[in-house]
Amino acid sequence: MIDSVFDRRHLLTTIGAVSLVFLAAFESLAVTTVMPIITADLGGRALYTLGFAATLAAGAVGMVTGGTLADRRGPARPLLAAIGVFAAGLALAGLAENMTVFIAGRLLQGLGYGAYTVALNVVVARVYPPSLHPRLFGLFAAAWVVPSLIGPFAAGLVTDALSWHWVFLGVLILVALVTTLILPALRRVAPVEPTPLSGTDLRRIAAAVVVAAAVVALSLASSWPLVVPVLVAAALALRPLLPPGTLRAARGLPSTVLVCGAAGAAFFGTEAYLPLLLQDRYGYPAWLSGAFLTAAALSWALASDLQGRRFAATVPHRTVIRLGAALLALGVLTVLATAALGLHPLVAGAGWLLAGGGMGAMYPRISTAVLAFSAPDTQGFNLSAKAIADAAASSVTLAVTGLIFHSLGTAGFTGALALTTVAALATLLVAGRITATAAADPAPSTPSPATSGAPTG
């Protein structure tokens, strides 16, 4: 009998795991829609940016902590604890009557989500055979795309019909329900003999706190003299959080992690400016500029599904990642050309379709390749490193492009998009350094990472 993520053994776990990713994604996108209403209601417009930065910064700490505990004590208890922290953050934000309490809730949401993302991926590695990893990670990617289509609209409806509080409280109820679906799978995870946190573990967590502080500082920065030392501090703090050789693009696992960070910087950095470009320069209404993002979200979902359902057993991870990087680079270059040369906005739209498809193809395969490079006791560290690279690179790029945009005046779009284009080209370059050792056979017959330290994939 051929295994499936929807067979009797895995069905409830798949529904629960994908739903947890979906709800966190919905929350992230919904908050963007209702944050102006929240800050106006709570009298906290001065803290508007911190409402986003706090979650991202705490997420980096959660990723490191969740990965460390998953390696030291197994993923089951850290996952449940992280979901509990995320739920507490939802409750605190949903019941907040002032901005201080709301920001505290956002911090807990980031901490919990960052930790449970990594722990959930480790559970996947332990519960599902390697042949199903591409399919499941493809579903995870799609679970981020669907909220991008419905999240902002649904959040607006809920806020108008009830209040913004229910954007958080409604998700809290659903999180409690779907968590029950994964409990049987957690009981099947092989027990791990708990080991105490080492000095290295504690230093890594401290480094994550430094990175988080740097992200917040960059989000609040208004001049270049502050940015340079903050960037240096962030780079130094990141080193122990990533596999050795990541910042110099060493072959194999380090390059795989770096590709994730560079791709996130390129895509999400560009995405932040595309609607603004369409509205400011071309006079597009918000709904029409949003349609460009929706189209890219659909191409992301389609590519994620194709790589997992049609090509998981036939096309190596390295090949798919390189193809995705090429599509991303072409898409970002197209948006830059539109801004610099005043091309028709549909040119940018076509490019963004390509970029979305490239990301949808790459991201699930990056996760699968990271697992293939990992021994059982390093899965948590390596998966958290991938997520940290993505979050740190994206947030730093957004902060720096913001300074560029405001410094260059009428050339701001071109300057900001030039930086994201550099990130896209770096993605393509580094993708070529992902070795075939773990990527040659995406559907191996060798044991899963849960039972073998040998690379599989």
Q: Is the distance from CB of 380 to CB of 69 less than 8 angstroms?
A: yes
Range of 202-211, 252-261, 264-273 with top mean pLDDT: 252-261
Q: Of 48-52, 58-62, 134-138, 424-428, which range is least confident? A: 48-52
For residue 312, give the nearest of 434, 443, 431, 130 by alpha carbon: 443
For residue 123, give the nearest of 68, 77, 81 by alpha carbon: 77
Stretch 349-366: mean pLDDT: 92
State which amino acid sits at residue 73.
R
Q: Which tens digits make up the pLDDT trace of 180-192?
A: 988 887 877 766 6
pLDDT value of residue 455: 27
Report the C-alpha gap between 108 and 444 in whole angstroms. 39
Classify domain 247-445+450-454 at the CATH superfamily level. Answer: MFS general substrate transporter like domains (1.20.1250.20)
- Percentage of the chain exceeding pLDDT 90: 24
Range 241-279 burial, b when 16+ CB lie within 10 A, else e: bbbeebbebbebbbbbbbbbbbbbbbbbbbbbbbbebbe
pLDDT value of residue 50: 67
Is pLDDT at 92 greater than 90 in this prediction? yes
Stretch 263-273: mean pLDDT: 88
**For the chain, give me the number of helices (H) and strands (E)?**
14, 0
State which amino acid sits at residue 447.
P
State which amino acid sits at residue 425.
L
pLDDT value of residue 440: 44
73 or 167, which is more confident?
A: 167
Is pLDDT at 236 greater than 50 in this prediction? yes
Q: In sequence order, which residues have a C-beta less than 8 Å from that of residue 89 and are 6 or more positions away?
A: 105, 106, 107, 108, 109, 110, 111, 112
pLDDT value of residue 337: 96
pLDDT value of residue 58: 83
Report the C-alpha gap between 14 and 9 in whole angstroms. 10
pTM, entire model: 0.70
Is pLDDT at 410 greater than 50 in this prediction? yes
Is pLDDT at 445 greater than 80 in this prediction? no
Stretch 92-100: mean pLDDT: 92
328 or 406, which is more confident?
A: 328
Report the C-alpha gap between 77 and 63 in whole angstroms. 15
Do 8-189 and 247-445+450-454 agree at the fold level? yes
Report the C-alpha gap between 287 and 311 in whole angstroms. 35
Is pLDDT at 378 greater than 90 in this prediction? no
Report the C-alpha gap between 199 and 164 in whole angstroms. 43
Q: Is the distance from CB of 374 to CB of 382 less than 8 angstroms?
A: yes
Q: Which tens digits make up the pLDDT trace of 105-131?
A: 998 999 999 898 888 888 888 888 888
Burial bucket for residue 239 (CB in 10 Å: 0-12, 13-18, 19+) = exposed
pLDDT value of residue 333: 97
- Output the DSSP codes for 273-330: HHHHHHHHTT---HHHHHHHHHHHHHHHHHHHHHHHHTSTTTS-HHHHHHHHHHHHHH
Classify domain 8-189 at the CATH superfamily level. Answer: MFS general substrate transporter like domains (1.20.1250.20)
pLDDT value of residue 315: 77
Q: Is the distance from CB of 319 to CB of 375 less than 8 angstroms?
A: no
Domain boundaries, the chain: 8-189, 247-445+450-454
Could you report how far apart the first and last alpha carbons of the chain are, in Å?
A: 21
Confidence band of 174 (pLDDT split at 50, 70, 90): very high
Stretch 148-159: mean pLDDT: 74
To the nearest 10°, the Cα dihedral for 223, 224, 228, 230? 10
Q: Of 151-155, 324-328, 378-382, 415-419, which range is least confident? A: 151-155
| Token pair of 155 as six digits | 């959040």
pLDDT value of residue 446: 30
Q: Which tens digits make up the pLDDT trace of 323-350?
A: 999 999 999 999 999 999 999 999 999 9
Report the C-alpha gap between 212 and 173 in whole angstroms. 29
